[in-house]
């Protein structure tokens, strides 16, 4: 089970987490989790370049190490990167010291001020240790592209039905998401541009 939009109790439980940016500007923030990987990231980068858009990539350290050339392309094309742990750890299931060490290992590669916990599963004790160094970013629109039970069209609809000014939108930079991502991402961008939205980085 997952929520397409961040429910009030999640915002209440994580009061210091960023779920969206300013509602005053007609701007949205595309984010991509889990990459970089050769099967998906170049498609995302090509799509963003075609529309002259910058985005934020929450990268897994192990994937950076394996695909350094793609990671360097993300940076060279002016995109932002965030820390998504080194091994895509679920914080709820991981000892605090192990989790924080894994984040630091990824940080050696990213040098970023942004962190997003995989699965949005992190203990308060873990986040408390991170707040001084990072802006912890969740989202307010989850595309559901990782969900193999939904259609590509449903993934697209998940975004356009819930997006609003300041929305942080999540897609996934992984193979499982590709059938829905490859359909929905270009359509979402076109729809939002036609509605007058701008695109920003966090």
In degrees, rounded to 5, the angle at the alpha carbon of residue 66 between the alpha carbons of residues 65 and 72 is 65
Catalytic residue among 84, 145, 172, 173: 172
Sequential DSSP letters for 111-144: --SEE--GGG---HHHHHHHTTT-EEB--SEE--
C-beta of residue 20 within 8 angstroms of C-beta of residue 45: no
Catalytic residue among 33, 34, 145, 173: 33
What sign does the dihedral 139-17-175-68 (CA atoms) show?
A: positive
Whether 33 is catalytic is: yes
153/184 Cα distance (integer angstroms): 7
Q: Which residues are catalytic?
A: 33, 172
């Amino acid at each position: 089970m997952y929520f397409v939009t961040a429910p009030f109790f999640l915002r209440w439980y994580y009061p210091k987490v960023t779920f969206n940016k300013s509602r005053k500007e007609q701007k949205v923030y595309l984010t991509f989790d889990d990459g970089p990987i050769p099967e998906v990231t170049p498609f995302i980068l090509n799509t963003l370049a075609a529309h002259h858009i910058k985005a934020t990539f929450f990268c897994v350290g192990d994937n950076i190490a394996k695909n350094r050339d793609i990671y360097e392309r993300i940076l060279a094309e002016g995109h932002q990167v965030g820390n998504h742990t080194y091994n895509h750890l679920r914080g709820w299931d991981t000892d605090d010291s192990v989790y924080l060490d894994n984040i630091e290992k990824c940080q050696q590669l990213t040098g970023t001020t942004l962190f997003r916990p995989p699965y949005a599963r992190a203990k308060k004790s873990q986040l408390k240790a991170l707040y001084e160094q990072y802006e912890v970013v969740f989202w307010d629109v989850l595309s559901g592209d990782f969900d193999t039970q939904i259609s590509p069209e449903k993934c697209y609809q998940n975004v356009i039905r819930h997006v609003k000014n300041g929305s942080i939108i999540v897609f996934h930079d992984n193979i499982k998401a590709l059938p829905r991502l490859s359909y929905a991402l270009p359509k979402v961008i076109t729809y939002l541009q036609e509605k007058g939205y701008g695109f920003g980085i966090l």
